[in-house]
Structure 1
């Protein structure tokens, strides 16, 4: 019994050491801004990156539906408690940046307030204020608009002592509850560096969006960015994949921490663009299963994109007969490879990528 107590006491001491090592000395101030002040601080200068309160690059895009936005506005109007917004005072030697407030948590709320206050949001599916369904802010009585503008929103403002690592750590922990972030949103929130900026730039390509259409909701959740990350991870070392796609891609992105776009980007971008051009010229439906499909299955995209890239690495001047590609690219055998159960198992991943590579090389 004595040994067990000694062991427990030893764990407690080591645990206390860990607590002290990881504790953050974070100063913060609680502020309140009326909506009529908060919204201009977010909107004025936003296009030039000079707004007082801004959404950082690592935050997710505006993903709330019109119904979610409407319910939030309804809560504000009837006086229900609104969760605090978390913001951080930016410390910088650049006077154009110093003193601005970065939103750590609350981007959906401040975007919704701005959309309503500027008459961009039409309320819908309200359960309590049913007479306001189908109306805009300007439809309220003048007295109600004034009261809405004076409604205060509370902010917890981290002082300039909070560095970028602390802000990103808070973002990750705050968003571990509620509507979960998808893997790509989490990467933008937790990781950093030029590689993710490179990914975001390529993901905005109109050429990609024509060849691999996605739904509006998927685009908002940064699924194109996810496709890019998977493409580069698999293209570099798909044979090392084991079983977890998220872990595999996360590890790859972390390995690019020293990525410098001006040095490392040109080669990757050239290979990416060459693959897209090849698919555009030789796959009649691009990455889609057939012309009627409005979205692109992720697994199908991976197989074609990576398989084509590997084929072009082997034969850079490869010229194929498009008709030969259509016979297998939109056939039953390939369809089974990208839709069967266990599509993300290691054997199936390797099999479908190699299938595309070999078929492309044989389509000369």
Structure 2
């Protein structure tokens, strides 16, 4: 009985931290709010727009047919402006219809002034081939006056409540990578760490070292995830169990949450460690820093297991390495090549199922022990 009462009290306490309300707003009003900067979409979130033209067109067809559509979710900021946290695909489709979508990252790119040409409408096929300006006035009015339920998380709501709501809303529906979700959701707590990760991701030495990851991985935020792996394994490895995604998210939450106690992140010191690590690797192995060893040489490929092991293992001697000493760089190059060709290292970095704590520690220790033998 006592446990039940504690549970109810705990839930009541959380509910007190949530302040929400529901509004019915027309798409035309939403468009006006967007153009007046009263409804915002963060760049990280906007990049998650994935619907093709056929899917966008069928959504517009649904509005014309007055079909029920799911609500969208927004959070209210201190200035009472709204930030979209769920409903990106639907709202962006309407923006595209009206020529207001700016999505230069897409292939093909969409820019303001480009109007959606309806296609693949399968209920009213006569819509296909038309743009908004070519629709009869009556249909334009239907679209402008189409209402959608808007669930507002008010500014009085607790930041953590906003964060977890955004996180849960955006882990279903569209197939997003974990890092894409992190890039958007963590801003609900604090933007500093995710901005720092973005800054590190642009460093030249780092980019050259990871240049063999695929274009698809780049677009889905894998470069940023690798930066997060670097700091997570460097500073938080003792807390890793098995699930890498949960481990990375947990570390990011720890660093970003202003209420986290007994946990600090020295941005200046960590940036120096990151810069030095990838300067060493770029000078010694360049784009083959994380390549697997082939029959007689290192391949031009990318292994995340090599990334984890080499970046983390190298920290053991990072302070002893002189970036301006060519002998140091040559010695590091020779040692890393030897480690990559070692059968024990190959065994713990090849094939699937290598995410266990034991194997992670083993491959990191092989590198750490190997580089520790170097006489600098």
TM-score class, shorter: 0.7 to 0.9
The Cα shift of 1:110 comes to 2.1
Residue from 16, 25, 30 that aligns with 1:32: 25
1:167 aligned partner: 162
Distance in 1 between residues matched to 2:346 and 2:130, nearest whole Å: 47
Residues 53 and 345 from structure 1, CA distance in 2 versus in 1: closer, same or farther, beyond 3 angstroms? same
1:89 aligned partner: 76
TM-score under structure 2 normalisation? 0.72
Distance in 2 between residues matched to 1:163 and 1:237, nearest whole Å: 27
Matched, 1:100 2:99: no
Written as runs of structure 1 = structure 2, the 5 A alignment for 1:112-123 is 112-118=93-99, 119=114
Moved more, 264-273 or 184-193: 184-193
Once the two structures are superposed, residues 133-192 of structure 1 have per-residue CA deviations (whole angstroms, 9 ceiling, x without a partner) of: 7x5736743545554344333322344433433322322343454347644324752573
Distance in 1 between residues matched to 2:373 and 2:309, nearest whole Å: 16
For the 8 Å contact 1:87–1:156, the answer to whether it is kept is: yes
Written as runs of structure 1 = structure 2, the 5 A alignment for 1:158-237 is 158-175=153-170, 177-179=172-174, 182-184=177-179, 185-186=181-182, 188-189=184-185, 192-193=189-190, 194-205=192-203, 207-213=205-211, 214-237=213-236
The Cα shift of 1:346 comes to 1.8
Residue from 23, 40, 53 that aligns with 1:54: 40
For the 8 Å contact 1:29–1:159, the answer to whether it is kept is: no
For the 8 Å contact 1:235–1:310, the answer to whether it is kept is: no
Segments of 5+ residues of structure 1 without an aligned counterpart are 1-8, 45-50, 92-97
Written as runs of structure 1 = structure 2, the 5 A alignment for 1:3-82 is 9-24=1-16, 26-35=19-28, 37-43=29-35, 51-56=37-42, 59=45, 61-66=47-52, 68-82=55-69
Distance in 2 between residues matched to 1:314 and 1:122, nearest whole Å: 61
Matched, 1:151 2:146: yes
Paired residue total = 338
The Cα shift of 1:198 comes to 1.6
TM-score under structure 1 normalisation? 0.74
The Cα shift of 1:243 comes to 2.8
1:308 aligned partner: 314
For the 8 Å contact 1:212–1:288, the answer to whether it is kept is: no
Question: SS of the residue aligned with 1:338?
Answer: coil
1:94 aligned partner: none
The Cα shift of 1:344 comes to 0.9
Segments of 5+ residues of structure 2 without an aligned counterpart are 100-113, 293-297
Residues 278 and 23 from structure 1, CA distance in 2 versus in 1: closer, same or farther, beyond 3 angstroms? same
Question: SS of the residue aligned with 1:161?
Answer: coil
Residues 75 and 205 from structure 1, CA distance in 2 versus in 1: closer, same or farther, beyond 3 angstroms? farther
Q: Please tell me the root mean square deviation across aligned C-alpha atoms, in Å.
A: 3.9
Distance in 2 between residues matched to 1:164 and 1:58, nearest whole Å: 19
